[in-house]
Homo-oligomer: A and B are copies of this chain.
Amino acid sequence: MYANAARRPTTRKGIGVRVLGVDPGLTRCGVGIVEGEPGRPCRLLVGGVIRTDPGAELADRLLALDGKLAALVARHEPDAVAVERVFSQHNVSTVIGTAQASGIAILAGARSGLPVTTYTPSEVKAAVTGYGDADKNQITTMVTRILRLAEAPRPADAADAIALAICHIWRGGAKARLTPKTGKTGRTGVRQ
């Protein structure tokens, strides 16, 4: 996993919001932590993939995923979590595992009291490339450019997770933190 951050971030460079993006999956769950503000270049703190063993039992895989996501949240203290929305039209052979992984990711954010937002792939593509039908290469190219990276994040799941975090920052999701809603539902603020 690519990591730019100090072991325990205490101060943040510039004004902005720190977002954990999650591209949910059971075998490969993309994660990216990005800092920035709307319309400006962002800074990559973490980009990578949480893998769980396809040969292991489901409960152990979900437990491992939960533990690694909780550790990322504890270490990097994001202000918000952005998770890709799963549709039933997804790849039929993996959609149940993907949905279960997304539930674990959303819960991981909610348990830490963070606002959690879900985005469709089209919303992420449009936010990052300006084009809702962009392909994976175009997303990776734009993510590399926006973050001013020397090389493209790999694998594609990591780039997708980073794109989710950028999408959340650029769409102004950070506002939720600055002007929190009142009442119970405001705390975890999922847009559906």
Contact = CB atoms under 8 A, between A and B. Distances in A.
Interface stretch (A53-61, A126-134, A142-150, A151-159): A53-61
Contacts of A116: 58-59
Interface residues of A, number: 36
A66 interface: yes
A96 B88 contact: yes
A100 B62 CA distance: 11
Nearest to A87: B96
A96 B188 CA distance: 19
A57 B188 contact: yes
Contacts of A140: none
Q: What is the oligomeric copy number?
A: 2
A38 B103 CA distance: 34
A84 to B, nearest CB: 12
Interface of A: 56-60, 62-63, 66, 86-88, 92-93, 95-96, 99-104, 106-107, 109-111, 116, 118, 184-185, 187-192
A171 B99 CA distance: 28
Contacts of A184: 56, 60
Contacts of A99: 95-96, 99-100, 103
